[in-house]
Chains A and B, each alone.
Chain A
C-alpha cells in the first residue's frame, strides 16, 4: 500500500468532520436502512424457521412406501401447515417384505436420525350408534416418540399397558365420547369385529391425526391385520431438515422399487410461499440499498462541490487525480461503515423490542450469513456510490479554481 493513502484517509476524515451535521444525517440514514434490513431478515427468517419447524417438527421428514401411487399425503393441521401424513385409507399400499434389510441399511446412514417401521391399516371403530373411519397405525412407541413425542402428548390415561398400549386421537375420542379405560369395537376389512380397551388419548396438535389415528404396537397391528412380518412404510427423521429432499433422492436411487418422498415434495406449496416471501423481502432490501446508495451519492456530490476549491488547490500542488478519487471513495467507505455499524445495533434493538412487545409465537432469527451479507453489501454500495462524485471532483481543473479565487 502506498503511504500517500494515509494522507488520503486523513483528508477524507477532515472533509467528513467539517460537515458534521451532513455526515451525521447520512450515517443515520444508512443506519435506518440497515436496521430495516436486519429487522426484516430476522423477522422473515424467524417466521420461516418457525413454519418449517411446525411443518416438520412432529412429522416424518421422509416417508418410504411401496405404493404404486403416492402413499404419503399431506394433511393440514389447525394452523394450515401441511404435514407429511400417511393416509392408507385412500391408497392401496403394497407391503414391504424385506423391510428388515432396508431398515438396517437406513439405520447405517448417519444422516438419518430416526427410522420408524410402520404397519398401517384402515378400518372403523364403533361405539353405540356412532362410527368413525380410522387409520390403524402400528409402530414401536419408543421409536415413534422420537418423531411424534407421543409420551408428552398423552392427555388422558397412560401409554404403558402389558402388551403395548392402545392410544386414540383426541378428536376421535371426543366424537365417540370415550376416554381412557373405555372399550371400543374395532372393525377391520375381512375380519370379525373385536372389542379392545383404550389405554390413553393423545393430542398431537394436528387435526388430521387427532381425528383418525388409532395407535398400537407394530406386532399387534400386524397380528390384527394378518399381514405377517411385513410393514407398510418407513418414516424417517433426518438431522438436517433442509437436506431431506436430497437424501430422499439418494435413497430413491438405492431403493428403486420403493417410493421415497420428502417433506419438501409434500409441501411444495408451502415452500413456494416461503420462497416468494423471501423474494419480496429481497426486493425490499434491494430498494433500501438503492436508497442508501443514492443518499451517499448525493451527499458526496454536494460535498464535492463544496470542496472543489480545496481539491483545486491540492491538485495545483501536486495531488494526483486518482488520489482525489480515493479521498471521496474513503468518505463513502467511512459513511457506509459507520452507518452499517449503527444500523446493525439499531436493527438488533428493533428485533429485541419486537420480541418483547409484539409477543409473537415465533422468535426472530438473525443468521450470521445474512448479517455478513447486509454488512458487506451496504458498505460496498456506499463506497461504490461515491464513485461518480469522486470521478467528477477528481477532474477539477486547478486553473479554474486559481483564476476564479
Chain B
C-alpha cells in the first residue's frame, strides 16, 4: 500500500528459550494508514501488547518486519530506536506513568526534553495549549503524583502529543479509569486524532469503545482473526 504509514509483514514473536519457547505472534500482516483510528481487541494473552510493543519499537521481532514511514525497524540500533520512538511515536500506557519528580507541565515536556535538553518558550506554549486541551492548565505546577488518576492519564495524553508524533500507541489507556474518565480520555484521543491527523492504535477490552474507532482489528492466539473498517468493507 503506497500511502500506508505502517506495514507489518509476517510478524512473528517468540518468548522464552529452549523448551519454554512459546510463539506469541504467529505471523501478523497488517497495514495502517495516516490518520486512522484503530482499536485492537482480543482476549487476554492473545498478543495485543506484544504487537503494540513491536510497532512501538520497544521490542525486536523474531521474524518478519515492521516498516514505519519507510523505515524498517530491524535496521535500527538501540540508540536509533530510542530516537525513533522519541520523534515518531507517542505512548499512552495503562498505568499513566508520569514522573513524580516533575510537575504536570514538565511531564508534558519530557519527550521534548529528552530530545532537546532545554525547553524553548515556543515549546512551553505548545505544552500549555495541550494541557489546556486536556483541561488541566490549572494543574500545570502540581507535582505529577498530586493529581487524580484520570487527570494523570490526561496528562499522559498531552505528553504523547508534545512531539507531534505520526503515531500514538495506547495500551488500554482507559483500563484503570471509571466510566466518566474513560469517556473523557477517549473523546480526547479521538479529537486529537482528528485535529493533529495522528494515527492512533488503541488496545482495549471495551468492545463498545472499540466500535467508536475507524477500524477494529481483533487478535486471537497470535493471529489477526478479523479486521473491520467502519462504513466500508471488511477484510480478514
Q: Does A278 contact B (CB under 8 A)?
A: no
A319 engages B101 (CB within 8 Å):
no
CB closest chain-B residue, reference A321: B78
A6 engages B118 (CB within 8 Å):
yes
CB closest chain-A residue, reference B93: A402
What per-residue 1/0 map shows which CB atoms of B43-76 lie under 8 Å from chain A? Answer: 0000001000100101100000000000000000
Interface size on B, residues (CB 8 A): 32
Residues of B contacting A313 with CB < 8 Å? 93, 97, 99
CB closest chain-A residue, reference B109: A7
The one of A6, A309, A310, A317 in contact with B91, judged by C-beta atoms closer than 8 angstroms, is A317
Cα A317 to Cα B83 with chains together (Å): 9
CB closest chain-B residue, reference A14: B101
Residues of B contacting A162 with CB < 8 Å? none
B99 engages A318 (CB within 8 Å):
no
Residue of A316, A321, A322 contacting most chain B CB atoms (<10 Å): A316
19 A-B pairs, CB-CB below 8 angstroms?
A3-B118, A4-B114, A6-B117, A6-B118, A14-B101, A15-B101, A18-B100, A310-B100, A314-B99, A314-B110, A315-B82, A316-B58, A317-B86, A318-B83, A319-B82, A322-B79, A402-B93, A402-B171, A405-B94
A399 engages B117 (CB within 8 Å):
no
Q: Does A345 contact B (CB under 8 A)?
A: no
Q: Does A17 contact B (CB under 8 A)?
A: yes
Residues of A contacting B171 with CB < 8 Å? 402
Q: Give me the interface of A with B, judged by CB distance under 8 Å.
A: 2-7, 10-11, 14-15, 17-18, 309-310, 313-323, 398-399, 401-403, 405
CB closest chain-A residue, reference B87: A318
The one of B93, B99, B113, B159 in contact with A310, judged by C-beta atoms closer than 8 angstroms, is B99
A320 engages B79 (CB within 8 Å):
yes
CB closest chain-B residue, reference A17: B101
Residues of A contacting B100 with CB < 8 Å? 18, 310
Residue of A7, A10, A315 contacting most chain B CB atoms (<10 Å): A7
Q: Give me the interface of B with A, judged by CB distance under 8 Å.
A: 49, 53, 56, 58-59, 78-79, 82-87, 91, 93-95, 97, 99-102, 110-111, 113-118, 159, 171
Cα A14 to Cα B94 with chains together (Å): 25
A317 engages B114 (CB within 8 Å):
yes
Closest beta carbon of chain A to B135's beta carbon, Å:
22
Residues of A contacting B95 with CB < 8 Å? 405
Residues of B contacting A14 with CB < 8 Å? 99, 101-102
Cα A61 to Cα B9 with chains together (Å): 88
The one of B59, B85, B99, B111 in contact with A399, judged by C-beta atoms closer than 8 angstroms, is B59
Residues of B contacting A11 with CB < 8 Å? 101
